[in-house]
Amino acid sequence: MSVLDIHVSVVSHYLADESNAGQGRYVFSYRVTLDNKSPHSVQLLARYWKITQGSGEHQEVRGKGVVGQQPLIGPGQRFRYTSRAILQTPVGTMEGTYTLLDTSTQRSFDVDIAPFRLAIPLAIH
């Protein structure tokens, strides 16, 4: 299966009511949509995120599944979830990889998650 059969899109939002600029705490939610455009079911096994602060500092996060799940996504189906990230700067980025299993071949493969921006409204960077 080609990794091009799985499409990942992300939309982020600044959570002002949970943030505190004076303490260097900027909270963002992000909603991920995975579209399975392949003829096979896939299971999301693991995630890898690289979170980069506006200062250039970064951290890496790895784990099983997403939001406590390892969802099975059938052909033509979509899976959505919302999570969050806390930065120390008002602007940053996230990018990463999902490891998926093609259930028809039992082979795992990676799908890249393109970099996306985390920024407070009207931030220029």
Q: Rounded distance, CA 28 to CA 60, Å?
A: 17
Q: What is the pTM of this model?
A: 0.91
pLDDT band of residue 122 (cuts 50, 70, 90) is: confident
Structure confidence by residue, pLDDT tens digits, 7-28: 999 999 999 999 999 999 999 9
Angstrom distances, CA of residue 15 to CA of 10, 81, 83, 98, 122:
16, 17, 12, 25, 14
pLDDT at position 71 over 90: yes
Supply 70's token pair. Answer: 């390892």
Which of 11, 28, 12 lies closest to 89 in space, CA to CA? 28
- Type of residue numbered 94: M
Residue 123: its pLDDT value, please? Answer: 61
